[in-house]
């Protein structure tokens, strides 16, 4: 394990570096300008109070490091014709990446009002963190970014996601030392065990050590350098360290060390990739490379004010946001700001029109090679439709409802294997070691788990290259898939339903990215992020209470209707049809919840397609209303609630043959919502036609009951909708006991009908009691024998 | 950095180890019995099909490693009189920790039906993963556990949480190599930078490397041993490695190595603590110790079937759950199971009655020293009330509503400083570097951030020992606090509102732990887990859209009513009163959302106390209904919605003086819910008295509007409740523009009233238009000047 620290200046040419320094100064000037100025952008007159924004918002601390790295990457991009995607972990450094995008011309191409001249610079400054302007973080609005850095922790996972199946891409991922304390980032170092050095691209992790978070030192800055290097070497990297800028060190010296180190890193990456390609050709396998990683240690707020009001600022947490707070009212602060801005010598950097001087352009790559313009950061431009094989070939034969037993996800798995075969470089399945547990193992007939750590002969379905990525970290699964779809590819995340809450907050950030992107004309639609949640609440009887939580769909539905979709297919064929649809969509988050256990099948594939197209519908074959107004509607959403609802319908048919029962099944949960609230929402007229305007509705829902009320509260008949669902009653028990504990079982649903249909309660009290006795019988059986009574476990639709 | 691998047998006595091996065999026998048997527990007759459970559920793979470590820890506990808390990261190893608890007698003490005899053993076996029985994971039902291992990743954070302020405690934390892949666990290694070697206890991380997850190799098992050790040394540990049991190695040889290593570790811990105490006494500071960590590398499913149906099982992922699946129907599997069980020689382990033979007791610690009985794992028995200083001393003087400006969290901070002073060893504040950002910095007058990494002279409020723990990982904050309260202490987690979603899933697990614990008589109530969410959605105008999400309270309310509480105090004095209440409660999760920015104050401290006691109430001073039936009710929950509602009330008073307006403020959100749904819920009669049965209600809510509908959908007047709240409209803008974008602003609320009170719409169309024009004026001002118009930013209640 060799560490290269402070290498001697090597190939870098001194003149180039003076130019590079000018470019860096320009970027820093533009960043400081964004934080402070609303007028006089080129400082062609003395700085006056009215030139300064009344409210100062932005993050200076990380900015000079981000611009420094950008400038040095530009040098090697131009020289070696590299394709580099820049992932800005310290997303608070919005001023940095907006500045570089403007300097490269991309910003003005995307936003013509922010032209590359004095007027445009003034607008660039004004709009930053300004009402009606742009966010203070790297964001969808930022050219060149796939990464919103507001919530920290996901940079390196995004970087690996972007690199998969992009062999020509180098992803330079800057990680702040604050972000390095988060769990998701700490786990992300494992990514290099999954990255193939020939078929995938390269990730260069750059730990930007500037020592401080908002108000506090960072942990990595306060352990020994030896410990820090051991950690990263232990994660399989070869470490390079560039340190400088402290105690007033001339930046030129730091440029020299950085340039020499960057040259070594780029050469090392090229060597690794060449060697791997040769080895792959010769041996059919590769050694796991020891990829380079860089530690850049510079002062927080480097080149900013050293001291303000007698307190140290540069190199401390005080440089985190706005180092000079009183620049509008405090002449001393304003003078300090003016000196700071002038220290970058703007007159050398911008011409009379305010455009960057032509000599700076020499360092700026052109066209798509600019990191601010690389197509991968606007993945929609690279996106191609998946080739989707005909899913009906995998459909389960359902001659009549309930006649066939099948596993929904098992059936899906066989089709997904075909999807994998048809799309060998643009589709990935991620999951936390649960692909087989979720019964998708058929995909392993078409591909393997990709892993470049040691593989033993006893391992199954594991290879150095494959479409499935399994790691026991939902954060990594989510982060990799986000990075993959944001750069223009497709994928599916399969997960236990309860544990998908682990990524609630990552989902939030991705959904917000999609919401914002829809309103940015130059951002092209990307593939939807697809979740398949299996091993769901009703089939976690064996793992027990800790594995039971159907609330992710509630969480999802707090996001804007335009980006979220939720599907609860009741059987295998509807799951096939649903997933085929989801994989064709753009710019959504699709959540599909489906069971893995063998269960009764209801719809033939043609019926399934029609039902999924409508998203909701009356199941005539299970209903006894003969097309007329029913006495009661049994609604259901989700596979297990559908079974219980149909069993209840069968019981009602047997015991109360005169009762007109209508069964309505919901696949697309958003059909329940008002059309004014969600684009999938049924018009009131349609909803009323299904659920009536005044008859009791007993609704069996997959998740928490409140969600159905939330979705339907504006409906005419809302006050008659009675919902059963999961109410946090669970333990280690049997499947039927799970539904009983939550009063979602067939017997209780029948009792609910008796309670709610006028006139039944008194007349059929005995039947009601019989139903409750049946529950006792079932529980006794389960508690005695450890399994469900056969008639409920293997119940078949009698129709 | 020295690593001790395979140390030579040292102090351990050979006879002892044979006994220890017997103890281990007994535990393994009891674990296998739990997974398989429902009768014939001591194998006193040949194993017959009916002795085997019809449904086999449980996790064998991790079990022998857990029992092995338990046995070896017992040896040093007995010898050295240690206090050890065992944290079972591989919580799936429920059979292991239940077995050891029974072997130690604790299980029978807690559950008399599971006696320490043949009948009890039969019940022990039957109940495991059986309907009406116990979960398959370590769980609240498990004596000796503070940790439910269903969702992986939190073991090491829990361990550190348990160790803080427990100087006499050694927390042995077993981490599965699967769990080691998760983000929260990866971050948890940082804990040793925060643990004081004199004032806090010791954490011994034990990475149990058995190579496989459910279906797949683990990453840590497939990197070089050199890399793995470098990682953990880089995290500041001195590494000890015990490896064995492979290729049929005699377990006695592994016992010898383990015993010798355990002796070294225990001695090293003692040396470290002594040295630290001496140094602290001499220098007033300590060096950060290089704490021991252990890697135990044994085969997955060690001592289980080597092969089943011709496929390798021991030492592979196939040993993860139930190695022999067909033991009831397949005679070959059953014979193999019998041979496996008999390989532990039960006749040597249990006496004629089925109790553990007395010689095994020699290895079992007694009383509270048993890891299965240590009081820290039932924290309620150690819990003492906090000493809570009089919060009224810190109250803001509010001579009349709106007359005073104050920061709510800033006011709270001063009282929290007193809480810290009064409770120097039993109260901690955790947060992700946001204590000052959330304006609680007054606590730093009473204490410091605790950090045992390097501290520089320029650092502020940072010391080796203090009450505040700040790390940029919400996972660690949550995990530490959970470990701290589960072991009988108190604390507060302060966090940005949006980012608390990072721990949604951890909250789930903790809430489920509390729900289950309430029904376990021997578990004593613990302190509530308290969240203070600040920097909330309405004041994230500067950080923008990625920082805006008020949905944590929605997530929380999916859990059982008996364990969750949500408070939205509208000003400083109500926040003081609320937090004083929360810190007195037990077994809840309290979520308090409060702003940090200076804002108008409404209630004197006496009024605040009375208002918080009711949780909801009419604000007469803001109402114009004169105690009679109003024309419209303005409801509000949350500080910013309260300001807008009061401003709307003032506008209505000015422009529509005849209109009878009632203002109702909600502090305790659950008051809105039906009394049948939540213990805090208002009776219908009380609710109707506040909100009327038929008048329009315009409700301004802090969070997503749907929550108010969810809470009130059973109320008489529900169909007239019109809710404004956050509807995912946000960006980087001004505070007032944030409320405008979501139609929660005063002008829109007035328009809502005009739209909803019969007769106003036509008559006051001009006023309505004027209100909408006011919005335009405000937006124009913000977009032009970058700040809100003074009249809305500095608005004062005119009353």
* Stretch B100-120: mean pLDDT: 98
Q: Do B207 and B165 share a structural domain?
A: yes
> Residues of B with CB below 8 A from A160's CB?
none
What per-residue confidence (pLDDT) applies to B4? 45
A73 domain residue, yes or no? yes
Domain span including residue A197: 10-369
Contact between residue A633 and residue A698 where contact means Cβ atoms under 8 Å apart? yes
> Residues of A with CB below 8 A from B556's CB?
none
Which of A135, A187, A783 has the CB atom closest to B545's CB atom?
Answer: A135
Q: Do A746 and A659 share a structural domain?
A: yes
Rounded to the nearest angstrom, the minimum Cα separation between A222 and chain B is: 5
Coil, helix or strand for B653?
helix
Find where tokens 């509602």 sit: B645
* Stretch B472-487: mean pLDDT: 98
Nearest to B628 by CA among B689, B686, B685, B683: B689
Angstrom distance (rounded) from CA A65 to CA A243: 11
What would the pLDDT profile of A313-361 be if each residue is shown by its tens digit? 999 999 999 999 889 999 999 999 999 999 999 999 999 999 999 999 8
CA torsion, points B397, B421, B162, A546, in degrees to nearest 10? -10
Rounded to the nearest angstrom, the minimum Cα separation between A658 and chain B is: 31
Angstrom distance (rounded) from CA B328 to CA B319: 18
Q: How many Cβ atoms from other residues are within 10 Å of residue A381's Cβ?
A: 15
- Whole-angstrom CA distances from A699 to A463, A637, A643, A718 are 46, 8, 13, 11
> Residues of A with CB below 8 A from B3's CB?
none
Angstrom distance (rounded) from CA A508 to CA B555: 13
Residues whose CB falls within 8 Å of the CB of residue B465, separated by 6 or more in sequence, listed in order: B196, B199, B448, B450
Contact between residue B207 and residue B108 where contact means Cβ atoms under 8 Å apart? no
What per-residue confidence (pLDDT) applies to A101? 98
What size, in residues, is chain B? Answer: 799
Which of B183, B504, B734 has the CB atom closest to A187's CB atom?
Answer: B183
What are the backbone dihedrals phi and psi of residue B355, each rounded to the nearest 5 degrees, phi first?
A: -80, 155
Extract the tokens encoding A236. 């399989």
CA torsion, points B490, B495, B500, B506, in degrees to nearest 10? -20
Alpha carbons within 13 angstroms on the beta-carbon side of residue B110 total 24
What per-residue confidence (pLDDT) applies to B709? 93
Coil, helix or strand for B602?
coil
Nearest to B564 by CA among A510, A527, A66, A551: A551
What would the pLDDT profile of B392-438 be if each residue is shown by its tens digit? 999 999 999 999 999 999 999 999 999 999 999 999 999 998 888 88
> Residues of B with CB below 8 A from A559's CB?
728
Angstrom distance (rounded) from CA B696 to CA A160: 54
Rounded to two decimals, the pTM is 0.97
Task: Specify whether the backbone of A627 is left (phi greater than 0), alpha (psi in -120 to 50) or beta.
Answer: left
Contact between residue A689 and residue A627 where contact means Cβ atoms under 8 Å apart? no
What per-residue confidence (pLDDT) applies to A361? 85
Rounded to the nearest angstrom, the minimum Cα separation between B528 and chain A is: 19
- Whole-angstrom CA distances from A208 to A58, A157, A518 are 19, 16, 32
What would the pLDDT profile of A709-727 be if each residue is shown by its tens digit? 999 988 999 999 999 999 9
What per-residue confidence (pLDDT) applies to A4? 45
Average pLDDT, chain B: 95
Please give the share of chain B, as a percent, with pLDDT higher than 70. Answer: 98
A397 domain residue, yes or no? yes
What would the pLDDT profile of B8-57 be if each residue is shown by its tens digit? 444 445 568 999 999 999 999 999 999 999 999 999 999 999 999 999 99
Rounded to the nearest angstrom, the minimum Cα separation between B497 and chain A is: 11
What per-residue confidence (pLDDT) applies to A15? 65
What would the pLDDT profile of B307-326 be if each residue is shown by its tens digit? 999 999 999 999 999 999 88
Q: Do B304 and B450 share a structural domain?
A: no
Q: Do A187 and A57 share a structural domain?
A: yes
Helices (H), B369-528: 408-422, 474-486, 504-517
What would the pLDDT profile of B223-268 be if each residue is shown by its tens digit? 999 999 999 999 999 999 999 999 999 999 999 999 999 999 999 9
Q: Element (H or E) spanning A645, and its range?
A: helix A639-655
Angstrom distance (rounded) from CA A409 to CA A415: 10
What are the backbone dihedrals phi and psi of residue A46, each rounded to the nearest 5 degrees, phi first?
A: -60, 145
Asked if the Cβ–Cβ distance from B786 to A54 is below 8 Å, we say: yes
Q: What is the distance, to the nearest Å, from the Cα of residue B680 to the centroid of all Cα atoms in its chain? A: 23
Q: Is the pLDDT of residue B2 over 50?
A: no
CATH of the domain at A636: 3.40.50.920
Asked if the Cβ–Cβ distance from A732 to B57 is below 8 Å, we say: yes
Asked if the Cβ–Cβ distance from B733 to A132 is below 8 Å, we say: yes
What would the pLDDT profile of B596-647 be if each residue is shown by its tens digit? 999 999 999 999 999 999 999 999 999 999 989 999 999 999 999 999 999 9
Q: Do B237 and B201 share a structural domain?
A: yes
What per-residue confidence (pLDDT) applies to A14? 58
Please give the share of chain A, as a percent, with pLDDT higher than 90. Answer: 93
Angstrom distance (rounded) from CA B251 to CA B298: 10
B4 domain residue, yes or no? no
Q: Do B97 and B66 share a structural domain?
A: yes
* Stretch A20-30: mean pLDDT: 98
Which of B189, B230, B547 has the CB atom closest to A233's CB atom?
Answer: B230
Mutate to test the interface with A, among B452, B544, B729, B775 (most CBs of A within 10 A): B544
Angstrom distance (rounded) from CA A303 to CA B517: 56
Q: Is the pLDDT of residue A1 over 80?
A: no
Asked if the Cβ–Cβ distance from A451 to B217 is below 8 Å, we say: yes
Asked if the Cβ–Cβ distance from B706 to A558 is below 8 Å, we say: yes
What per-residue confidence (pLDDT) applies to B778? 97
Q: Model ipTM?
A: 0.96
Contact between residue A697 and residue A633 where contact means Cβ atoms under 8 Å apart? yes
Number of domains in chain A: 3
Angstrom distance (rounded) from CA B405 to CA B407: 7
Q: Element (H or E) spanning A511, and its range?
A: helix A504-517
What would the pLDDT profile of A558-581 be if each residue is shown by its tens digit? 999 999 999 999 999 999 999 999
What would the pLDDT profile of A183-208 be if each residue is shown by its tens digit? 999 999 999 999 999 999 999 999 99
Angstrom distance (rounded) from CA A723 to CA A62: 51
CATH of the domain at A263: 3.40.50.970
What would the pLDDT profile of B706-746 be if each residue is shown by its tens digit? 999 999 988 999 999 999 999 999 999 999 999 999 999 99
* Stretch B579-608: mean pLDDT: 97
Contact between residue B153 and residue B134 where contact means Cβ atoms under 8 Å apart? no
What per-residue confidence (pLDDT) applies to B149? 81
Angstrom distance (rounded) from CA A447 to CA A459: 14
Asked if the Cβ–Cβ distance from A233 to B227 is below 8 Å, we say: yes
Contact between residue A663 and residue A649 where contact means Cβ atoms under 8 Å apart? yes
Q: Do B342 and B246 share a structural domain?
A: yes
- Whole-angstrom CA distances from A178 to A170, A207, A564, B443, B473 are 24, 10, 31, 23, 9
Rounded to the nearest angstrom, the minimum Cα separation between B676 and chain A is: 14
Report how many Cβ contacts below 8 Å link chain A to chain B: 353
What would the pLDDT profile of B50-88 be if each residue is shown by its tens digit? 999 999 999 999 999 999 999 999 999 999 999 999 999
What per-residue confidence (pLDDT) applies to B14? 58
Asked if the Cβ–Cβ distance from A193 to B222 is below 8 Å, we say: yes
Asked if the Cβ–Cβ distance from B706 to A704 is below 8 Å, we say: no
Nearest to A432 by CA among B179, B514, B77, B485: B179
* Stretch B489-512: mean pLDDT: 97
Nearest CA in chain B to A176: B472
B525 domain residue, yes or no? yes
> Residues of A with CB below 8 A from B785's CB?
54
Mutate to test the interface with A, among B148, B546, B555, B785 (most CBs of A within 10 A): B546
What size, in residues, is chain A? Answer: 799
> Residues of B with CB below 8 A from A150's CB?
543-547
A799 domain residue, yes or no? no
Angstrom distance (rounded) from CA B90 to CA B136: 11
Rounded to the nearest angstrom, the minimum Cα separation between B464 and chain A is: 13
What are the backbone dihedrals phi and psi of residue A413, each rounded to the nearest 5 degrees, phi first?
A: -55, -40
Residues whose CB falls within 8 Å of the CB of residue A253, separated by 6 or more in sequence, listed in order: A244
Angstrom distance (rounded) from CA A731 to CA A742: 11
* Stretch B295-317: mean pLDDT: 96
A284 domain residue, yes or no? yes
* Sheet with strand B83-88: strands edge to edge: B4-5, B238-243, B292-297, B202-209, B169-176, B83-88
What are the backbone dihedrals phi and psi of residue B665, each rounded to the nearest 5 degrees, phi first?
A: -105, 140
Q: How many Cβ atoms from other residues are within 10 Å of residue A634's Cβ?
A: 30
Asked if the Cβ–Cβ distance from A505 to B502 is below 8 Å, we say: yes
Rounded to the nearest angstrom, the minimum Cα separation between B511 and chain A is: 10
Q: Do B267 and B183 share a structural domain?
A: yes
Q: Which stretches of B360-452 are assigned E, i.e. beta strand? A: 405-407, 427-431, 449-450
Q: Do A577 and A444 share a structural domain?
A: yes
A614 domain residue, yes or no? no
* Stretch A253-280: mean pLDDT: 98
What per-residue confidence (pLDDT) applies to A191? 98
Find where tokens 């072997």 sit: B103
> Residues of A with CB below 8 A from B57's CB?
542, 732
SS3 of B116-138: CCHHHHHHHHHHECCCCCECCCC
Asked if the Cβ–Cβ distance from B433 to A213 is below 8 Å, we say: yes
What are the backbone dihedrals phi and psi of residue A23, each rounded to the nearest 5 degrees, phi first?
A: -60, -45
Rounded to the nearest angstrom, the minimum Cα separation between B385 and chain A is: 29
Residues whose CB falls within 8 Å of the CB of residue B122, separated by 6 or more in sequence, listed in order: B37, B38, B39, B41
Task: Classify strands A616-618 and A661-666 as parallel, antiparallel or unpaired.
Answer: antiparallel
Q: Do B652 and B588 share a structural domain?
A: no
B485 domain residue, yes or no? yes
What would the pLDDT profile of A732-748 be if each residue is shown by its tens digit? 999 999 999 999 999 99
What per-residue confidence (pLDDT) applies to B15? 65
Extract the tokens encoding B790. 């003074």
Q: Do B356 and B438 share a structural domain?
A: no
> Residues of B with CB below 8 A from A459's CB?
217
Q: Do A443 and A340 share a structural domain?
A: no
User: Is residue B282 classed exposed, middle or buried when 0-12, 13-18 and 19+ CB atoms within 10 A define those classes?
Assistant: exposed
Asked if the Cβ–Cβ distance from A732 to B193 is below 8 Å, we say: no
What per-residue confidence (pLDDT) applies to A9? 45
Angstrom distance (rounded) from CA B369 to CA A42: 73
What per-residue confidence (pLDDT) applies to A149? 81
> Residues of A with CB below 8 A from B471's CB?
181, 219
Rounded to the nearest angstrom, the minimum Cα separation between A80 and chain B is: 32
What per-residue confidence (pLDDT) applies to B401? 97
Which of A131, A230, A499 has the CB atom closest to B230's CB atom?
Answer: A230
């Amino acid at each position: 394990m060799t560490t290269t620290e402070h290498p001697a200046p090597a190939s870098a040419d001194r003149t180039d570096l003076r130019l590079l320094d000018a470019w860096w100064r320009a970027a820093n000037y533009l960043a400081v300008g964004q934080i402070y100025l609303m007028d006089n952008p080129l400082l062609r007159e003395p700085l006056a109070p009215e030139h300064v924004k009344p409210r100062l918002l932005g993050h200076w601390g990380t900015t000079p490091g981000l611009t420094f790295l950008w400038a040095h990457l530009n040098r090697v991009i131009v020289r070696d014709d590299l394709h580099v995607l820049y992932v800005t972990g310290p997303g608070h450094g919005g001023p940095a990446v907006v500045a570089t995008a403007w300097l490269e011309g991309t910003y003005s191409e995307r936003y013509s009002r922010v032209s590359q001249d004095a007027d445009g610079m003034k607008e660039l400054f004004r709009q930053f963190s300004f009402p009606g302007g742009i966010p203070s973080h790297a964001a969808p609005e930022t050219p060149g970014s796939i990464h919103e850095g507001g919530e920290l922790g996901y940079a390196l996972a995004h970087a690996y996601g972007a690199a998969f199946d992009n062999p020509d891409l180098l992803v330079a991922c800057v990680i702040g030392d604050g972000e390095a304390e988060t769990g998701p980032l700490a786990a992300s170092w494992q990514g290099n065990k999954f990255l193939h050095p020939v078929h995938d691209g390269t990730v260069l992790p750059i730990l930007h050590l500037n020592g401080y978070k908002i108000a506090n030192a960072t942990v990595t800055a306060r352990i020994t350098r030896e410990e820090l290097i051991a950690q990263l070497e232990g994660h399989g990297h070869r470490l390079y360290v560039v340190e400088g800028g402290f105690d007033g060190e001339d930046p030129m010296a730091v440029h020299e060390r950085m340039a020499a180190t960057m040259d070594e890193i780029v050469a090392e990456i090229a060597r690794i990739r060449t060697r791997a390609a040769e080895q792959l050709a010769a041996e059919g396998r590769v050694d796991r490379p020891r990829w380079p990683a860089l530690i850049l240690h510079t002062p927080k707020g480097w080149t900013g004010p050293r001291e303000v009001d007698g307190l140290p600022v540069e190199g401390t947490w005080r440089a985190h946001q706005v180092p000079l707070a009183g620049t509008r009212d405090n002449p001393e602060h304003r003078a300090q700001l003016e000196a700071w801005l002038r220290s970058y010598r703007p007159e050398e950097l911008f011409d009379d029109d305010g455009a960057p001087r032509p000599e700076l352009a020499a360092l700026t790559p052109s066209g798509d090679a600019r990191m601010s313009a690389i197509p991968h950061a606007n993945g929609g431009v690279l996106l191609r439709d998946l080739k989707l094989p005909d899913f009906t070939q995998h459909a389960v034969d359902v001659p009549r409802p309930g006649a066939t037993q099948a596993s929904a996800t098992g059936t899906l798995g066989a089709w997904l294997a075909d999807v994998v075969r048809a799309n060998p470089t643009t589709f990935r399945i991620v999951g936390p070691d649960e692909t087989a547990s979720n019964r998708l193992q058929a995909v392993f007939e078409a591909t393997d788990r990709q892993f470049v750590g040691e593989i033993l002969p006893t391992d199954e379905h594991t290879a150095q290259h494959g479409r499935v990525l399994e790691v026991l970290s939902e954060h990594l699964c989510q982060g990799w898939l986000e990075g993959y779809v944001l750069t223009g590819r497709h994928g599916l995340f399969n997960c236990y339903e309860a544990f998908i809450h682990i990524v609630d907050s990552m989902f939030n950030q991705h959904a917000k990215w999609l919401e914002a992107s829809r309103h940015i004309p130059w951002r092209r639609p990307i593939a939807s992020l697809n979740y398949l949640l299996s091993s769901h609440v009703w089939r976690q009887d064996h793992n027990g209470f800790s594995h039971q939580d159907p609330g992710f769909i509630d969480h999802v539905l707090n996001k804007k209707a335009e980006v979220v979709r939720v599907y609860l297919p009741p059987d295998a064929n509807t799951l096939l049809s649903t997933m085929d649809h989801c994989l064709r969509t753009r710019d959504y988050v699709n959540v599909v919840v489906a069971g893995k256990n063998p269960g009764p099948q209801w719809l033939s594939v043609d019926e399934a397609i029609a039902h999924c197209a409508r998203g909701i519908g009356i199941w005539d074959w299970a209903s006894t209303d003969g097309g007329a107004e029913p006495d009661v509607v049994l609604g259901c959403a989700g596979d297990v609630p559908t079974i219980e609802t149909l069993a209840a319908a069968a019981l009602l048919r047997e015991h109360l043959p005169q009762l007109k029962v209508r069964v309505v099944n919901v696949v697309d949960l958003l059909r329940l919502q008002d059309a004014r609230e969600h684009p999938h929402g049924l018009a009131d007229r349609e909803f009323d036609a299904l659920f009536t305007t005044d008859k009791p509705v007993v609704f069996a829902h997959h998740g928490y009951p409140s969600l159905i009320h939330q979705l339907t509260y504006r409906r005419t008949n809302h006050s008659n909708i009675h919902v059963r669902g999961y109410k946090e009653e669970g333990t280690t028990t049997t499947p039927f006991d799970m539904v009983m504990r939550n009063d979602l079982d067939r017997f209780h649903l029948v009792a609910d009908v008796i309670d709610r249909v006028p006139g039944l309660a008194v007349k059929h009290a005995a039947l009601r009691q019989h139903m409750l006795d049946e529950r006792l019988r079932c529980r006794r059986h389960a508690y005695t024998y450890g399994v469900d009574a056969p008639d409920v476990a293997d119940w078949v639709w009698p129709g």
